[in-house]
Structure 1
Amino acid sequence: MKAKAFDTKVFKRIMFYTKPYKWRFNGVIIWAISLSIFAALRPYLLKQTVDGYIQTEDEKGLLYYIILMGVVLLLEVISQFYFVYWANWLGQDIVRDIRTKLFKHMLSFRMKYFDNAPVGQLVTRSVSDIEAIARIFSQGLFMIISDLMKMVAVLGFMFYMNWSLTWIVIVAMPILVIATRVFQKKMQVAFEEVRTQISNLNTFVQERVTGMKIVQLFNREDIEAEKFSEINAKHNKAWIKTVWYNSIFFPIADIISSLTLAMVVWYGG
């Protein structure tokens, strides 16, 4: 069965674990809002400083805006710190709860299940895969929320300053969205392959280390080493594929951004 790019049911199940930490969840959202405001306000203040006080050589007004930008920068740094800290704190607490619940669930399995299920795969599911959930909060969900808020705030300032130039930027956004969507699908398949290979690697190592006496008794060291090399090579190949997609996507995004900037400069004179 092909995995969905975004599974709302899984997302709702994960969000269920945020309920005990509702105040912290809301706090992260508040810090994300403040971060987006300060991040968008700083370039606007810089523009006002250059146009209104540097060109007119108004030293008193220039000093005022420099102090104001310093205050805004300080508030942005504080917001960034608490946003990152609280998001990671929340993610780790949720992972702790999920991992505890998962382990208790595994303890209820029948012995027959453990006879058929590779131990390395169970370890991967309960450690590596669960840790990926923490990244949803530290690097995924809240970062997306923060970036979207920044984008909305920046677009608001851009429309306020020059709506015609802003439309040039907006026209380029669908191209970037399409490129992101294409690479999202490719990256999803690539990372699923990475997870599979990590599971295979853990399973192989766990089984061979546990049965090392048998391996040595039957003089299978070279055979098992060769098998490990094959599995390790597949794991390496899977990771290289993800790196390859990343290496393509970010230059394309930079090219689109550069072309958009060139159009703004050309149109704006």
Structure 2
Amino acid sequence: MENLAVKKVFDFSLLRRIFSFAAPYKGSFYISMILTVVLAAISPLRPYLIQVTVDKYISNQLMQMLVLVTVIQIGLLILETIVRFFFSYLTNWLGQSVIKDLRVTVYKKIVHLNLAFFDKTPIGTLTTRTINDIEAINDVFSEGIISIVADLLMIIAILVVMFMEDWRLTLISLSPFPILIFATYIFKESVNKSFYAVRNAVSALNAFVQEHLTGMVVVQAFTSEKREYARFKNINKAHRKANIEAIFAYSVFFPVVEIILAISLGLMVWWGSNKVLNYEVTQGVMIAFIMYLNMLFRPLRMLADKFNTLQMGMVASERVFKVLDNQDYIPDHGRQTAENMKGDIRFEHVHFAYVNEHYVLKDISFHAKPGDTVAIVGHTGSGKTTIISILNRLYEIQKGSIKIDGVNLPDYSLEALRSKIGVVLQDVFLFAGSIYDNITLHNSAITRQQVEDAAKLIGIHDFIMQLPGGYDYNVMERGSTLSLGQRQLISFVRALLYNPAILVLDEATSSVDTESEMMIQGAIDKLIADRTSIIIAHRLSTISKADTIIVLDKGEIKEMGTHEELLKLEGFYYKLHSMQFKTEKATS
């Protein structure tokens, strides 16, 4: 979980970067700014017309002018309502348009980042960046800088008119303003801290709920319901406390503003009434000033809150820009196509480390000819899965070279390279949706007939047709309605449809029952026919026919050869084989 620290400095460079995303919509931005000026100009007109009406037309009983001014007042009110509608609509439309583009930009960035980035960044954090934080940026436009400018212009316009009408009455009316400024500052700081506390509390709640719903089987299996419930109550209590602190600040501030407004009105009436009696101030001016003060205090009530909203939007944007500025991705400068890839794989003195120089692969060298089946075995943590990850350029190697058909991997474009390498992982991931969509991955170039033909070849077509809806059956999140073996077979269909030159199978039969293993083994035999295959397996019985078996231990190749050759050596492979044979015999 990531805690937000309260920022004190207003970053204008960050604000400029936010508004750079509004460049495609600069027409709407300029119109909204023009509307702020129009609103500022319209606002003082109605009180002024009322002043003129009282002082000139009512006192002199000019009924025709009174009717005319009333019509003008109604027209101004309608005009102001229309302008406010377009101002509100445009600013919100602008904000939604910007975050739409920004969300697409961030997601595009995320899907191209190196897997190393995902290894060290919680998924919940990226979800927050893509959804919650970007949504907060909308407030920069709808309730932030443009709205603040509109309020400030209105305040300036009203003050200018008030000083022009009677500067002494204006100064008397505004004498409590230092108290308001101080109260606004205290409110802003209090709400700012509370707002950060609320965001942190929400983040903690989201992380806790997401993690424990995902791991509910562990919670229930170890009867941890009461303990986890108690933890949740504490986190939820912190969330409530943070919100109540924010509510308290609002509950104090707005009554204080009302009191200050009442004091201002009282001082104005006290001083102004004497001037009215002495004919130094007209009744119309007094009535207009009451309206001016109400109009002046209305935006002042909201300015502090809008500044906090703006600041939180900027904090959110800073977090989003950190993702956009991340350069942790695989460079894709290759121009080599892979249309006629044969699948000749050559590792030459390859070294690889996930962190600094803590190498998990050391001096790995082997050659797989087109059509060969290479099996990789070894204890957990020996580096088996890492080999297939670097073959796919999911990570970059530090030393050595990897070539396919004599071409260095970086010389291929990533799309061309990965389109010719089919991967079937041990933990098959299926997306919520139909079996058909999970097989095609929404590739419209693949027809339903091709999917059915591939499923028949793998031997899962009949099972799929028995499901409600057949290929349109919804497998739910992570394929939870299917068994592990069924998910594996579906992933085989997916791999077969893309007709890869190189097939990678990562422990595809390690966690299934014997019957499913037989079906999967039959599917594997069909998949590996006429293509180069790299198979990682725990069950050595499934790889006895491999052309080459590589034995890894602590990131190094200890032995290499056929099944028979390695058994004769009576080394690492022989020990692994003997241990597994004894285990299988003991459990049979």
| TM-score range for the pair, normalised by the shorter chain length | over 0.9
What is the Cα deviation at residue 204 of structure 1?
0.9
Equivalents in 2 of 1:97, 1:221: separation in Å? 42
Distance 1:83 1:73 in 2: 15
1:8 Cα deviation after fit: 2.0
Does 1:254 pair with 2:258?
yes
Does 2:143 align with 1:149? no
Residues 232 and 119 of structure 1: is their aligned pair in 2 closer, same or farther, counting only changes over 3 Å? farther
| Offset of residue 116 of structure 1 | 4.0
Q: How far apart, in 2, do the equivalents of 1:161 and 1:53 lie?
A: 18
The aligned residue for residue 36 of structure 1 is 40
Q: CA deviation at 1:115?
A: 4.1
For residues 1-269 of structure 1, the aligned pairs below 5 Å read 2-269=6-273
**Runs of 4+ residues deviating >6 angstroms:** none
Flag the structure with larger Rg. 2
Conservation of the 8 A alpha-carbon contact between 1:40 and 1:153: yes
Moved more, 246-255 or 117-126: 117-126
Q: Please list the CA deviations of residues 90-130 of structure 1 after superposition, one character each: whole Å capped at 9, or x if unmatched.
A: 01111112222222222234434434433333323322222
- State whether residues 99 and 137 of structure 2, in contact with CA within 8 Å, keep that contact through their aligned partners in structure 1: yes
Measured at CA, do residues 127 and 79 of structure 1 come closer, stay the same or move farther in structure 2, by a change above 3 Å?
same
Superposed displacement of residue 5, structure 1: 4.8
Q: Give deviations 1:170-203, integer Å, cap 9, x for gaps.
A: 4433332222122212211111111111111111
Do the aligned partners of residues 236 and 120 (structure 1) sit closer, same or farther apart at CA in structure 2, a change above 3 Å counting? farther
Specify the SS of the correspondent of 1:127: helix
Equivalent residue letter for 1:155:
L
8 Å Cα contact 1:119/1:203 also seen in 2: no
Task: Give TM-score, length-normalised by structure 1.
Answer: 0.93
Q: TM-score, normalised by structure 2?
A: 0.44
Q: 1:205 to 1:112 in 2, by over 3 A?
A: farther
Shift of 1:37: 1.5
User: Which SS does the other structure have where 1:56 is aligned?
Assistant: coil
Are 1:159 and 1:166, in contact at CA under 8 Å, matched by a contact in 2?
yes
| CA–CA distance in structure 2, aligned partners of residues 197 and 151 of structure 1 | 36
Alignment: residue pair count: 269
Tell me how far apart the structure 1 counterparts of residues 6 and 195 of structure 2 sit (CA, whole Å): 13
Q: Within 2, Cα distance between the matches of 1:255 and 1:113?
A: 54
The amino acid across from 2:90 in the alignment is W
| Contact 2:44–2:161 under 8 Å retained in 1 | yes
Is this contact kept in 2: 1:201–1:232, CA < 8 A? yes
Q: Give 5+ residue unaligned stretches, structure 2.
A: 274-588
Between the two structures, name the one with larger relative contact order (CA 8 Å, sep ≥ 6). 1
**SS class of match (1:3):** coil
SS in 1 for 2:42: helix
Q: Give the % identical residues.
A: 39
CA displacement, residues 10-50 of structure 1 (integer Å, 9 cap, x when unaligned):
22221221222111111101111111211211111122122
> Is the 2:163–2:170 contact (alpha carbons within 8 Å) kept by the matching residues of 1?
yes
SS in 1 for 2:176: helix
- Equivalent residues of 1:99, 1:130 under 8 A apart: yes
Name the aligned partner's letter for residue 145 of structure 1: V
Give distance in 1, aligned partners of 2:173 and 2:106.
46
Q: Which has the higher strand share?
A: 2
